[in-house]
A and B are shown apart, each in its own frame.
Chain A
Amino acid sequence: MSITSQSGTIFFNGKPVRAQAGDTVASALYRAGQRIFSRSFKYHRPRGLLCAAGRCPNCLMNVAGIPSVRVCTLPAREGMVVRSQNAWPSLERDWLAMAEAVDFLMPVGWYYKRFTSHAAWRRVRPFIRRVAGLGDAPAPGDGSERRYEHAHLNTEVAVIGGGPAGLQAALESAARGEEVTLIDDQPALGGHLRYSRSGAAASSPLIAQLQAYPGVRLLTGSSCFGLYEGNLLGIVQPRPYGDVAERLIHLRAQRVVVATGAYETPLLFHNNDLVGVMLSTAAQRLIRLHGIKPGERAVVVGWDERAAGVAVDLVEAGVDVVEVIEPEALTAAAGRGRVEGVDARGRWIGCDLIVTCGQRVPDAGLLAQAGARMEWSAERGAFVPVELPPWASAAGEALGELLPRRQAAGAAAAHPSERAERAERAKRAFVCLCEDVSSRDLVDAVEEGFDSIETLKRYTTATMGPCQGRMCQLNAIGVCAGATGRGVAETGVTTSRPPTPPVSLGALAGARRHPVRRTPMHEDHEALGAIWMDMGDWKRPRYYRGHYRESASGGERECVESEYRAVRERAGLIDVSTLGKLEVRGRDAARLLDKVYTHRFSDLRPGRVRYAVICDESGIILDDGTISRLAEDRFFITTTTGNLDFVEQWLTWWMVGTDWDAHITNVTAGLATVNLAGPEARGILRLLTDCLLDSQDFPYMSCRQADVAGVPALLLRIGFVGETGWEIHFPAEHGSDLWQELLKVGRDFGLRPFGVEAQRLLRLEKRHVIVGVDTDALSSPLEADMPWVVKFDKEDFIGKAALSRAASQTPRERLAGFVVAGEAVPAIPEDGAAVVIDGRPAGRVTSARYSPLRQSVVGLAWAPAEKAVEGAEIQILVDGRLCTARVMQRAFYDPEGARLRQ
């Protein structure tokens, strides 16, 4: 619960801290006396609140296990657990600050200079990885898992920025009846009016007026991090509701108005990062938004009317404003870890707070991303966007038009960028607070030859930290301009790229959602004790522990062997609903199949089934399955489980540009499919159907449409596992009922359900190939020992030319069956195990299993063609030793196919 209406408690480094209504985490900590908020990236210098607007890196903390959260804009929530990061052992006493004492070892580009040998890098890498970086990424299982989600919205007008310009733009659009979405990264609308003198009173009527329009959508506390092609905006909304950590909104707008305003940049002086140095807007936020006195004795540094304004604000808040000085007069800040005074041209002024009125810079990163050119305005002392794309517009300070002009500030006053040009080479005048890059580092880098702002950025990493250049870009350009003597305009800006601000990987990834496909019999498998395996999105039973559920000895091997024996000796039932199923209809359906498959289908008689292989233009096997002809103009195709979408697209693709009357419908999900196989399969099925099942009525490789247990079904007499069997396709809504009925009727015959592992063993004994397992991206049907599937006498088919060429040559390698010979305790080669010929790897094993039938290991392997002949000996590397295997080119089980045809 957000602490908006009453006080509550948050926990900082284990200690309770009271938070008042409307507090951010940072304001609650500041009120409680906390001044150090973080440690710097490289030197571990203490850092305090600087911008209080969610832009600088100074308040990055770990919140509820998530590192690098900007706590200055994070509303405090009851019980929130906040920890400091990048400090050891504590934020106040950080031993890693010793790094500063050896800074001479870490000059600019020190990674490139020091670690020129891999060995040196390897030695220090563990240490550097431990101490470098900002916070620790959450680890799985550490209790910091968070929910993320995405949303897709559309709007006519998107206005980015809820300050006065943004409010006005949104109001004008809403008044025209347009649908408006207003996005602002602060918890409330109003922009700088919220904390400037009499600002709140000025913004309230605008906000109320806007809220009255029905077509207005307000997204406060939401950061727009990217403006992409087609007016797509990326927006991150923290804690949208419940326990959802972040929501990433994809907002598509017909028109975009960028009214992101301007932000204040730090001044460049020695020790400009001390705790107690604060931007003027940060001091005003603390005073006006949270009622906090920022310090006791303050020095205000500024050259325009803002300095006077903030001085008055500080006095009214009870701060003793010791002096207002011009930036030119400020030589250095001094103090041990925090501000104790300033050196003003040799004059010491004691204070605990330095409030700087830095240059206001248009927040034009999104416009630059959208294609606007950034042009230097000497008059305004900033780069301003020009040449906006036609679909985007900008309003207010984002355009730079409202920024104070030089005349207003006096001709003598210099803009900070110009001061940066003249900046001393100070090791402690930090340009980039995120990466601890000082003005001296930048000048050194320029002298080393990195004199283009883009290469300087990459070499020094300035502008590449969490602030993404918003705090440091102008000063970095100024220092570069001074060191090269080119001037700021010629130096130019670095490229603005999304995301600005940074986005968490969780938000980009979105919800942890992995779609799962379930067959209609999923819950029946569950009840039978299925051990699941993933096949793509599908869940399939690998094997069933049902019969061994009570027994400790029932391991995978026992279960699989038991299922195997049931199929070979009695009958087995497997759920193969995952097979892809396509219906192809039309007068030219056979023509299409003749074109795409290597076999011929135009001569397939209705009621017959044929094995089918698809090759690509190079003759490489892409998929296999069966094709059944149900009528002259109607075919039923099965594909492998994983290739359904591909086959559907491939068939569709080859029809493009033809006027063929052929139409493909994917019916996979609508049909449950089981394979009933084994010597008793016919006896079981006979009890459930009137269809004649004897071989003369229903021969091998034929199909019939008949009722099974009253359910309309398509029966294919095929045999992947090498036994008499039927593949039964029937409406998915009856999947569970028919599965149960088959098992019930089959009980007296010893019918058992079997899983994928037993199926793989059974098919391997039959030497049936699985495409994608026994074949790869180089396998043709000729090499895979299936020349009979290629009909060269067809007019044309995909891959014909390549296969014709291949047929006239001797193949380099072939798929060979093998039996491991003479092993007392046979080891099973893993998939991919090397086939060794004359001491050299010459092939690989694709599948191997222990065959109870042969009482030996059998398998398939790619071997040199001269070795892939009956009786040849090959060697296979198993567990580091060579086993001898004998090549067998016939099936290991029932080579004549008598069982299939029985």
Chain B
Amino acid sequence: MINSLKRTPLFGAHQRLGARLEPFHGWAVPARFRSPEEEARTARESVAVGDWSWAPKFDLKGPGLKTPPQFEEQAICWPLGVRHYLVTCEPAAQEPLLERIREMEGADSPSPIYCTVVTSVYADLRLVGPRSRDVLSKLSSLEVSEGGLPNYRCGQAAVAEVQAIILRQDLGRQELGRQDLGVMPAFHVLVSRDYAESVWRAVLEAGEEFGIGLFGFEACSLLEV
């Protein structure tokens, strides 16, 4: 029987980059590539990319979605089309959220909702830092400026020649020493899982100009403080 951890599509790439992979909600996830402090610093000063493919994602469709669904659990609904939403949440909130969605689901309802778990359908590359927009602008024609894609808005466009969903979800106000760096722009780039390595490489190449770094979940906890 298989008892091993789930692998993100970038598992091999992380191994080659020497990441320290640790269990995280059943997944083998990079905890760090170098010291978390250094990773966080690169993100604050320029841009860093992390693999967030393990983050739960649900695809919701159906006539019951005339308005965005409301969840008590910590979840974000991103509109993808008419009565069509992508729902993301923290791993800890996945089970209660799924339970809640299952209650809403079903053909018996006069306005049913249909949910498909798409966590593994999409690779999620998380770009964090003041230069994250510059990296994205080299890979996509989607306008990701402050006004073009405000926080908690999403867009759909090709990124590195691959169809993608781009979610803007900023991190909090950042400080470097005593310097207030303001709110840090951050984006999730969701691409079909099988394109993950191609897009990952393209992001690293595009970010070379800005000294892009890698970050694991340990650095993220520093950035989200």
Contacts and interface: CB of A to CB of B under 8 A. Distances in A.
Interface of A: 149-154, 240-242, 244, 250, 252, 511, 513-520, 522-523, 537-538, 577, 583, 585-587, 632-633, 661, 663, 665-671, 709-711, 731-738, 741
Given A242-B209, A515-B162, A515-B198, A734 B2 contact: yes
Interface in B186-214: 192-199, 202, 205-206, 208-209
Contacts of B9: 518, 520, 732
Contacts of A523: 12
Given A519-B194, A661-B112, A667 B118 contact: yes
A736 B7 contact: yes
Given A154-B148, A515-B199, A663 B62 contact: yes
B77 interface: no
A157 to B, nearest CB: 14
Contacts of A632: 107
28 contacts: A152-B137, A152-B140, A152-B143, A250-B141, A513-B161, A515-B199, A516-B197, A518-B194, A518-B197, A520-B7, A537-B195, A583-B116, A585-B116, A587-B112, A661-B62, A663-B61, A665-B114, A666-B121, A667-B116, A668-B121, A668-B194, A669-B121, A670-B119, A710-B1, A732-B193, A733-B7, A734-B6, A741-B2
A517 B194 contact: yes
A151 B199 contact: no
Contact of A240 (B8, B59, B209): B209
Nearest to B194: A517
SS of B interface (majority): mixed
Contact of B112 (A151, A516, A586, A709): A586
Listed residue (B12, B61, B107, B122) with the most chain A CB atoms within 10 angstroms of its CB? B107
Interface in B127-153: 134, 137-138, 140-143, 145, 148
A892 B206 CA distance: 53
Contact of B205 (A511, A633, A661, A666): A511
B63 interface: yes
A665 B116 contact: yes
B1 A709 contact: yes
Contacts of B194: 517-519, 538, 577, 668-669
Contacts of A511: 202, 205
A528 to B, nearest CB: 15
B27 interface: yes
A516 B137 contact: no
B63 A152 contact: no
B192 A154 contact: no
Contacts of A241: 209
Interface in B84-105: none
A244 B205 CA distance: 11
Contact of A149 (B4, B27, B122, B138): B138
Contacts of B138: 149-152
> Interface residue tally of chain B, by bracket?
35 or more
Contacts of A151: 134, 137-138
B120 interface: yes
Chain A to chain B: the 4 pairs with minimum beta-carbon distance, closest first: A733-B6, A670-B121, A669-B193, A517-B194
B143 A154 contact: yes
A21 B6 CA distance: 57
Contacts of B206: 149
A667 B62 contact: no
Interface string B156-179: 000011100000000000000000
Contact of A586 (B6, B11, B107): B107
Nearest to B15: A523
A433 B45 CA distance: 51
A709 B3 CA distance: 9
Nearest to A249: B137
Contacts of B112: 586-587, 661
A667 B192 CA distance: 9
A522 B11 CA distance: 11
A269 B197 CA distance: 62
Contacts of B205: 511
A709 B4 CA distance: 11
Interface in B11-32: 11-12, 27
A586 B196 CA distance: 30
Nearest to B119: A670
Nearest to B53: A733
Interface in B55-95: 59, 61-63
Contacts of A670: 117-121, 193
Contacts of A154: 143, 145, 148
A524 B114 CA distance: 35
B90 to A, nearest CB: 18
Contacts of B142: 152
Contacts of A734: 2, 6-7
Contacts of A735: 7
A240 B193 CA distance: 32
A538 B198 CA distance: 11
Contacts of B208: 242
A666 B84 CA distance: 13
A741 B198 CA distance: 27
Given A242-B208, A515-B198, A709-B1, A252 B62 contact: no
A710 B26 CA distance: 14
A250 B145 CA distance: 14
Given A151-B137, A519-B194, A513 B202 contact: yes
Given A152-B142, A585-B61, A586-B112, 20 more contacts: A149-B206, A151-B134, A152-B137, A153-B137, A241-B209, A252-B143, A515-B160, A518-B197, A587-B107, A661-B107, A665-B118, A667-B118, A669-B122, A669-B192, A669-B193, A710-B2, A732-B193, A733-B7, A733-B120, A736-B7
B216 to A, nearest CB: 18
A632 B107 CA distance: 9
Nearest to B161: A515
Contacts of A738: 2
A518 B61 CA distance: 28
Nearest to B113: A663
A667 B6 CA distance: 18
B141 A513 contact: no
A555 B145 CA distance: 55
A49 B61 CA distance: 67
Nearest to A578: B194
A669 B120 contact: yes
B93 to A, nearest CB: 19
B120 A731 contact: yes
Contacts of B119: 670
A288 to B, nearest CB: 33
Nearest to A516: B198
Contacts of B160: 513, 515
A217 to B, nearest CB: 11
Contact of B4 (A514, A517, A665, A737): A737
Nearest to A709: B2
A579 to B, nearest CB: 12
Contacts of A737: 2, 4, 7
Contacts of B141: 152, 250
A587 B120 CA distance: 26
A518 B162 CA distance: 13
A427 B12 CA distance: 69
Given A149-B206, A663-B61, A667-B121, A733 B145 contact: no
A2 to B, nearest CB: 16
Nearest to B206: A149
B59 to A, nearest CB: 5
Contacts of A671: 120
B13 to A, nearest CB: 10
Contact of A665 (B61, B107, B140, B162): B61
B84 to A, nearest CB: 8
B195 A711 contact: no
Given A154-B143, A663-B61, A515 B195 contact: yes
A897 B165 CA distance: 45
Nearest to B158: A515
B198 A732 contact: no
